[in-house]
């Protein structure tokens, strides 16, 4: 089972990232195979409009990521391995009439033998993408089972 939880908390509670880190994904918690059993894989997202790191050297961005993660997670030490990738494109942004477009896509998918599953429909968070894909795969599989069990009814629908 997958679940997604979010809540709003006042910044006065000491929450809210002011530095260059945009967020952190605990990937090995979501996908256990992404790190050895005695390790965790943290994926930090840095930069954005307030903290442009495009001209910063890779080593500097890695140091910033480690310092920010250590500060917020209250840990220290050195990672045994570092993976680094620059993403020159932005995270997708919501555009005007986005909710209506998503509603039409979801409605169309429900009534179709084809499914539209992507991060732009339900959200970019990996658990949401996986859950949406799983739900649609189950729906499509149920439709196929129905068709195989009732071929005559399927032919009569034409």
pLDDT value of position 60: 92
Q: Under a CB-based contact definition with an 8 Å cutoff, are residues 24 and 69 in contact?
A: yes
For the chain, give the percent of residues with pLDDT over 90. 3
Higher pLDDT residue, 28 or 8? 28
pLDDT in tens, 94-117: 677 877 888 888 788 777 777 777
User: What are the domain boundaries of the chain?
Assistant: 16-73, 98-156
Q: How confident is the model at residue 92 (pLDDT cuts 50, 70, 90)?
A: low
Structure tokens at 111: 């009534």
Average pLDDT over residues 67-81: 83
The closest alpha carbon to 51, from 66, 62, 61, belongs to 61
The mean of the pLDDT values for the chain is 76
pLDDT value of position 1: 43
Rounded CA-CA distance 20/22 in Å is 6
pLDDT value of position 14: 53
DSSP states along the chain: ----------GGGT-S--SSEEEEEEHHHHSGGGS-TT---EEEEE--SSS--TTS-HHHHHHHHHHHHHHHHT--S--S--------SPPP---TTHHHHHHHHHHHHHTSSS----HHHH-SSHHHHHHHHHHHHHHHHHHHHHHHH-HHHHHHT-
Q: How confident is the model at residue 120 (pLDDT cuts 50, 70, 90)?
A: low
């Amino acid at each position: 089972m997958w679940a997604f939880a979010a809540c709003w908390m006042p910044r006065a509670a000491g929450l809210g990232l002011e530095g260059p880190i945009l967020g952190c994904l605990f990937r090995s918690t979501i996908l256990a195979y992404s790190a050895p059993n005695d390790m965790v894989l943290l994926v930090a997202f840095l930069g954005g409009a307030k903290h442009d790191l495009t001209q910063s050297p890779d080593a500097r961005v890695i140091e910033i990521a480690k310092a920010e993660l250590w500060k917020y997670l209250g840990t220290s030490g050195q990672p045994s391995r570092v993976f680094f990738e620059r993403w020159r494109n932005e995270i997708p942004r919501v555009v005007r009439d986005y909710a209506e477009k998503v509603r039409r896509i979801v409605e169309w998918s429900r009534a179709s033998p084809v499914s539209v599953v992507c991060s732009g429909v339900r959200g970019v968070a990996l658990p949401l993408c996986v859950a949406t894909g799983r739900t649609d795969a189950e729906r499509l599989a149920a439709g196929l089972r129905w068709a195989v069990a009732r071929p005559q009814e399927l032919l009569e629908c034409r």
